[in-house]
Chains A and B, each alone.
Chain A
C-alpha cells in the first residue's frame, strides 16, 4: 500500500532563505507526483507536476525533483517571501490508477519578515 510522508511537519524561516521540503513514498511504481500549496481555509493550488519519467520541474522560484528509485521528491523554494507562507502538500498517483491522489500530511511553512 502506497504511503506518502512529508518532512518536516512544520518549518519557520526568515525571509530570503532558500529552503527544501521533503516528500517520500513507499512504492516506486508511481504515475506522477504533484506538489500543491494550500492557504488557510482555501482550496489547493497545483504548483508542479512531475511525471514518473522526469527528474525535475521548475516554475519561477520553485524547483521540484523526483528520484523514483529511492522514493523521494524535494521542493526547493528560492529566496523565500512571507507570501510563501502556506501548507505544502505532496501527492502521488500510482501507475494504473491516475485518478486517485495519495497524499502526505503536508509541511506548514511560515516565512517571517
Chain B
C-alpha cells in the first residue's frame, strides 16, 4: 500500500473536457510533485510545490494547471488536452528541507485523451 493516494486511478476524457487529478499524503511532507510518465520512459517532472507554493514549473503547457490547497493535497486541473497528453500521471511527496529528500510516489492516474 502506498502512502501517497491518487484519484482517480484511470481517466478517459475528450479534448474539450475539464477534469482534475487529485493527490493526498499524510506523511507531513511539505514538498509535492507532479510527474508525467510515458510507456517505457522515466518520469518527467512537471511541477514542484514547496510549503504550498509553486517552486518549479518545467515549462508545462497552460492546459495543465496545478493547485496546492493545503499541505496534504495536490491537484492537477486539466483542460483542452491533446492526445499526446495520454500518459501515467504520478504524484510524489518529500520532506522540504535540504536534508534527505527521498520522494514517495503514488500509484498514478492513467489518463487517456480521446
Contacts and interface: CB of A to CB of B under 8 A. Distances in A.
Contacts of B101: 31-32, 93, 98-99
B103 A46 contact: yes
Interface in A6-61: 31-32, 34, 36, 41-46, 49, 51
B42 A105 contact: yes
Chain B binding site: helix, strand, loop or mixed by DSSP? strand
6 contacts: A41-B110, A44-B43, A51-B100, A91-B42, A99-B33, A99-B56
Given A46-B105, A103-B42, A104-B42, 4 more contacts: A43-B105, A49-B100, A49-B102, A99-B33
Is the interface on chain B under 10, 10 to 19, 20 to 34, or 35 or more residues?
20 to 34
Interface in B91-114: 92, 98, 100-108, 110
A98 B105 contact: no
A3 B108 CA distance: 25
Contact of B102 (A34, A42, A99): A34
Interface in A70-111: 89, 91, 93, 98-101, 103-106
A101 B45 contact: yes
B2 interface: yes
B90 A43 contact: yes
Given A98-B98, A103-B43, A106-B42, A46 B56 contact: no
Interface of B: 2, 4, 6, 31, 33, 41-43, 45, 48, 50, 55-56, 88, 90, 92, 98, 100-108, 110
Contacts of B48: 99-100
A44 B89 CA distance: 12
Given A46-B104, A49-B100, A100 B45 contact: yes
Contact of A89 (B42, B45, B50, B92): B42
A43 B108 contact: yes
Given A32-B101, A44-B43, A99 B107 contact: no
Pick from A32, A43, A104 the residue with the most CB of B within 10 Å: A43
Nearest to B4: A43
